[in-house]
Structure 1
Amino acid sequence: MDSNPPGVLVLDANQRSALAVTRSLGKSGQFLITTADATTQALAGASRYSKAYLQHPDPCHHPRDFIAWIKDLTGRQHFDLVIPTTEVTSQLLLFCKDELPGIELPFAPYETVMALSDKISLVELARSLDIPAPESLVFNNAAELEGVSVSYPCVLKPALSRIFTGHDWIYTHVKVIQDEAGLKQALDRAPYLKTYPFMLQDFIPGHGGGIFCLYNKGEPLQFFAHERLREKPPEGGVSVLSRSVPVNEELKASAKKLLDAVNWHGVAMVEFRVTPEGKAYLMEVNTRFWGSLQLAVDSGVDFPLMLARAQLGQPLNSMEDYRIDQRLRWLLGDVDSLYLYLKGRQPWMKKFMRLVSFLSIRLRHQKHEINRLHDLMPAWLEFRQYLKALVK
């Protein structure tokens, strides 16, 4: 290792994506990693590659205290790069960038990030670029729905996944609506829609498809794709078992057209819904690292290392050919998914087959996301957190 390697601060250290970033940069031997989160302990903080772990005020509930903390920290200690891995911390730091002149963030400007994060403005941008998106009715608030004819099923989609009020954050939810009664119930359970914009989008049958991208100041550097094999909850959610797949050229072309148009910088996950006939509709863009980031690293596409090198002006090589059918399993998430599936109303034979699939051991080209022999403490910490949550 260099006698004076660049210092990197990895935030949101209890996220699996933050652990993947910490392991990637730490294993490279090129960076000195500090991790931080609002919890007393965190997955990435327990990693052997984290040289120090810091606890800070909760950015969700005390955003101004968090900004004051990071301003004080970076005033006392220099970091060549700060990498947040959630929407809350990344958007908050970008929003307050003028107060934090000493931090280097691997993101596009705040206005560009929000233009893609806001699902309403994303639909408008997609239409201007001739990228297919679901038909959408836009409302500034719930009162504007009165007297509007709605076709079902549809998707109730708030403009933002996380809404910053200036004092705290509102967590919103996307919901499939089957009828008028369901819409009324969903609106009653989401009081924030009385004052914040949302859409009612056509429901697109089919499956999800995503393109994972890395850009450097408007130039595309890397693309990657994966397939979700099992999710939590089982009917659709976060991936607990996934595999790498070849990049779909049609989805890549649409993702590239979108990101080129905004002169993108950093990483992004561009999500689509693909109909049974094969037509892809743009759904949303995540403007930070994704949950199953470790799969890309295991497949040979080291996004965290490439991002850090690009941000610091270091040379890097893209990976045209990565390992296909490399698999990643989040074990405790998979346990939860199995429990929910067995608890559901599926026929007993389907439940039996799901149990057999869960117990099947794949010896080649599959790794556990958290459990790694070279770095055991994060798995031990996650197991303790899991047991603690069970007995609450």
Structure 2
Amino acid sequence: MTGTAQHVLVLDAKQRSALAVTRSLGQIPGLKISTADSSLTSLAGSSKFSYQYFVHPAPQDEPQAFLDWMQQTIKTEQIDVLFPVTDLTSQMLLMHQDILGACLLPFASYDTLIALADKVKLTELAQTLDIRVPTSRMYKNKAEVDINDISHYPVVVKPCLSQIRTGSKWIETLVVVAHSQEELRTILERHTYLRHYAFMIQEYISGHGAGIFAIYDHGEPVAYFAHRRIRELPPEGGMSVLSESVGIAPELKRVAERLLVSATWHGVAMVEFRVDERGTPYLLEVNTRFWGSLQLAIDAGIDFPKLLWQITTGQPVTSVENYRIGQRLRWFLGDLDSLILTFKSRNDSVGQKIKHLITFVMPRFAGQRHEVNRFGDFRPAWTELKQYVSR
């Protein structure tokens, strides 16, 4: 399909990344943006850029009902392009593209996506490309593990996929760290999906996390972006609640490009690394979808949703080389939760808690924006606040 797509449906509207997509695409003249999720209210659905909001069956619990709803909605609402922003919905739709008709899905093929999204397949691919990865052992299921063979801790237990289809439902998996043999034994017993599905046990790389965000057009790079996490939820490491755009580390970009070009990647991707104390990067995983801090890249000057829409609908696309360094993004309620957890922690000193409080309340006006709270589109912030209070 070429030309302007008139009607775009953004799925997973509860996600902050879906809100960023909705706000981005909603400013393109001639586009009508609708949003959808399984809850009665959502962030993206509350945006002024959402023309209408649909409630559908929960895809993880009722996958067939969701697919039936999707097929009917595409037809009756004349949806031209779908924008799913989670692993679950994107993989489900790629597996059932026959229901889409002429509706476009801005992803690589299912086989290409799984080659990167499946952590076991990714590790094997990286090894063939001489890309450094943590020492890994692959298992088809828990029964193959001889726990006495593992002598060095901590280790990382990493399921092959973040979402696994189990007959009539989908389940979410977790990447967890075991610091001892006893912890590893407990993890293998507690997470029942490890009894039936493939996973890895990897060495734990001490150091810090790093990532490269990218968008590709059939194997050709269009733009790269990088940020650093200033504060996270939980505070010891997790999703960013305060982040800042930074320059791209040449070595990380080189590795990411080698990987994505070799896969003939198409669409967006986040390539995650662990960088040890010597500065050596280890490839960890690739997220084949939009990421949580997407709004930061848009604020810094790389509008990934717009670029992806242009690529998908055959619009002219120009590679983006530069963006603003030092642009900050704050997810206020997530930052508040991070502060609360710091004050509850027994591991942080009084001085550390006071320092966190001071940095939390200290205002910064230049070069920082709020992720959800936006003048001119304040309803998502009100929706989030009501949900936060109710919890």
Place the TM-score, normalised by the shorter chain, in its bin.
Answer: over 0.9
In the alignment, is the contact (CA less than 8 A) between 1:217 and 1:264 conserved in 2?
A: yes
Q: Distance in 2 between matches of 1:262 and 1:117?
A: 12
Deviation at 1:90, TM superposition (A): 0.3
In the alignment, is the contact (CA less than 8 A) between 2:147 and 2:181 conserved in 1?
A: no
Q: Which residue of the partner structure matches residue 358 of structure 1?
A: 360
Q: Distance in 2 between matches of 1:265 and 1:147?
A: 39
Give the aligned residue type for 1:340: L
Deviation at 1:315, TM superposition (A): 1.3
Q: CA RMSD in A?
A: 1.1
Deviation at 1:102, TM superposition (A): 3.0
Q: Does 1:33 align with 2:36?
A: no
CA deviations on 1:227-266 (whole Å, 9 max, x unpaired) are 0111100111111000000111111111111111111100
- Say which SS state the counterpart of residue 367 (structure 1) adopts: strand
CA deviations on 1:135-192 (whole Å, 9 max, x unpaired) are 1011111111136510211111111111112311111111111111000111121011
Moved more, 14-23 or 29-38: 29-38
Q: Which residue of the partner structure matches residue 202 of structure 1?
A: 203
Q: Which residue of the partner structure matches residue 339 of structure 2?
A: 338
- Say which SS state the counterpart of residue 316 (structure 2) adopts: coil
Moved more, 82-91 or 154-163: 154-163
Q: Which residue of the partner structure matches residue 80 of structure 2?
A: 80
Q: Which residue of the partner structure matches residue 383 of structure 1?
A: 385
Q: Does 1:269 align with 2:267?
A: no
Deviation at 1:30, TM superposition (A): 4.0
Q: Which residue of the partner structure matches residue 158 of structure 1?
A: 159
In the alignment, is the contact (CA less than 8 A) between 1:74 and 1:102 conserved in 2?
A: no
Deviation at 1:281, TM superposition (A): 0.3
Consecutive aligned runs of 4 or more in structure 1 exceeding 3 Å deviation: none
- Say which SS state the counterpart of residue 27 (structure 1) adopts: coil
Give the aligned residue type for 1:360: M
Q: Which residue of the partner structure matches residue 307 of structure 1?
A: 308
CA deviations on 1:275-321 (whole Å, 9 max, x unpaired) are 11110000000000000000000000000001101110111333211
Count matched residues: 386
Q: Distance in 1 between matches of 2:181 and 2:173?
A: 20
Q: Distance in 2 between matches of 1:24 and 1:147?
A: 49
- Say which SS state the counterpart of residue 103 (structure 1) adopts: coil
In the alignment, is the contact (CA less than 8 A) between 1:75 and 1:102 conserved in 2?
A: no
Return 5+ residue gaps in structure 1 as ranges. none
Q: Distance in 1 between matches of 2:323 and 2:147?
A: 52
Q: Distance in 2 between matches of 1:214 and 1:146?
A: 41
What pairs with 1:1-392 in structure 2 (closer than 5 Å)? 6-146=6-146, 148-150=148-150, 151-345=152-346, 346-389=348-391
Q: Distance in 2 between matches of 1:144 and 1:62?
A: 32
Deviation at 1:78, TM superposition (A): 1.7
Deviation at 1:101, TM superposition (A): 2.5
Deviation at 1:86, TM superposition (A): 0.4
Q: Distance in 1 between matches of 2:51 and 2:354?
A: 45
Q: Distance in 2 between matches of 1:192 and 1:269?
A: 25
Q: Distance in 1 between matches of 2:308 and 2:93?
A: 18
Give the aligned residue type for 1:93: L
In the alignment, is the contact (CA less than 8 A) between 1:158 and 1:197 conserved in 2?
A: yes
Q: Distance in 2 between matches of 1:148 and 1:125?
A: 28
Return 5+ residue gaps in structure 2 as ranges. none
* Percentage of identical aligned residues: 51
Distance 1:166 1:111, change over 3 A: farther
How does the TM-score come out when normalised to structure 1? 0.97
In the alignment, is the contact (CA less than 8 A) between 1:46 and 1:381 conserved in 2?
A: yes
Moved more, 317-326 or 10-19: 317-326
Q: Distance in 1 between matches of 2:6 and 2:317?
A: 16
Q: Distance in 2 between matches of 1:189 and 1:278?
A: 35
In the alignment, is the contact (CA less than 8 A) between 2:5 and 2:80 conserved in 1?
A: no
Give the aligned residue type for 1:364: A
Deviation at 1:29, TM superposition (A): 2.6
